[in-house]
Amino acid sequence: MNIAQPPGQCFALVTETYPPQINGVSNTLGKLCQGLLGRNHRIQLIRPALPGEKPGSRQAGNLLERCVRGLPIPGYPGLQWGLPAQRKLKQLWSRERPDAIYLATEGPLGWSALRLARRMKIPVISGFHTNFQQYSNYFHLGLFHEPAMRYLRWFHNQTQLTLVASTTQQRELTRLGVQHLSMLGRGVDCEQFHPAHRCEMLRSQWGAGTKDTVLLHVGRLSPEKNPGLLVESWSKLKTAYHDAERKLHMVIVGDGPSADELRKRMPDAIFTGALTGSALAGAYASADIFVFPSLTETFGNVVTEAMASGLAVCAFDTAAAHQHIQDRYSGSLAPAGHDQLFNDNLQWLAQDVEGRRSIRLHARHRACQLDWQAIVQRFERYLQHAALSHTIPAQAVPSK
């Protein structure tokens, strides 16, 4: 006997990025959207049309995708800003008014959705998925740091609630004046990312023998991800490493504006380009150490994916690593910005084979506690709570 699910609600998700695009925000939005659909809700997904895709609407079951016009983001091939779409959104929301709206990104599309939601008195919450205010330091745009922060603070303080991925992000945004913050967190698929996907044939293609040590980096190859430290840590490790039986190998998965420069500076590393699905899972599981020097993450999904795959993670004590790694127990952590300790930790992981084996077991155990279903249910509760509330923050002006 089939028991019918109770009728769900209608929620609108507004985002500038969504699968098949490859980044942490896209991955998170895909999981949240599919999770809500699985809980019998109707979803309006508003996003920019992908290259080669025409703007317009398409319906598949309880999912309505409304694709709007966008413009490419300089330096990020395949990613776009969504252009303001207030008229199109008004037509959509007048036909079927969402119970609540989630704004995942703060670009022109998100801005227009926020303005319209306030005018139509539709409850709206937001998520802080990307530390754009920090990127100015890496793209020599220091003059834009304060204006960017004022805008982000204003944007999020117009919503009932801003969801964050990690405790370190929550503390930083509180310091910067963003109000009404709540923890959402992130999950990881421990079936997709699993040590059982380790492949000796793939390792041999990398030139790695059974006893060799493979270091892996996964992520966008871009200045804000601190690629200079990736180069430095690899160079110093090779100089300090002494083990005649176990050779070192570096594999870099991903693409981005720094890719060509990294290939020049790391000629002995293997660059695979961007990977997804089983190819990505196999790359994780076939490595031994995960090297992650980024300091600008709101969370860092790749950290928990590496842990689920049974890797020993070398990272800074921030975002996902801070939240889910216990130093020298389930990974290694260096205080943010302490490059020397980061390098020392990497050398310790490479040289202490027995210690690394224990860390990999504990990393997998911790990752398996991070269930996406629990995150989706928490997200659902935030949307439902917003839908019950008719309180909308008073209009404010960004502070100078």
Q: Can you give the pLDDT at residue 390? A: 62
Sequence-distant (≥ 6) Cβ neighbours of residue 8 within 8 angstroms: 36, 39, 40, 41, 42, 62
Q: Mark whether 22 and 110 lie in a shared domain.
A: yes
Whole-structure pTM value = 0.89
Q: Can you give the pLDDT at residue 146? A: 78
In a domain, 177, yes or no: yes
Residues of the chain short of pLDDT 50, as ranges, are: 1-4, 133-136, 138-142, 391, 393-400
Q: Mark whether 29 and 145 lie in a shared domain.
A: yes
In a domain, 125, yes or no: yes
In a domain, 398, yes or no: no
In a domain, 396, yes or no: no
In a domain, 136, yes or no: yes
Q: Mark whether 183 and 207 lie in a shared domain.
A: no
Number of domains in the chain: 2
Q: Can you give the pLDDT at residue 132? A: 56
Q: Mark whether 167 and 220 lie in a shared domain.
A: no
Q: Mark whether 123 and 204 lie in a shared domain.
A: no
Q: Can you give the pLDDT at residue 24? A: 85
Q: Mark whether 152 and 229 lie in a shared domain.
A: no
Q: Mark whether 24 and 158 lie in a shared domain.
A: yes
CATH number of the domain enclosing 95: 3.40.50.2000
In a domain, 36, yes or no: yes
Q: What is the DSSP letter of 257?
A: T
Q: Can you give the pLDDT at residue 376? A: 97
Q: Mark whether 294 and 316 lie in a shared domain.
A: yes
Q: Mark whether 117 and 203 lie in a shared domain.
A: no
Q: Can you give the pLDDT at residue 75? A: 59
Q: Mark whether 173 and 223 lie in a shared domain.
A: no
In a domain, 343, yes or no: yes
Domain assignment of residue 349, given as a range: 195-367
In a domain, 3, yes or no: no
Q: How far lies 388's CA from each of 14, 118, 378, in Å?
A: 20, 16, 16
Q: Mark whether 342 and 222 lie in a shared domain.
A: yes
Cis peptide before 108 (omega within 30 of 0): no
Give the Cα separation of 316 and 331 in Å (integer). Answer: 10
Question: pLDDT tens digits, residue range 258-288?
Answer: 999 999 999 999 999 999 999 999 999 999 9
Q: Mark whether 149 and 89 lie in a shared domain.
A: yes
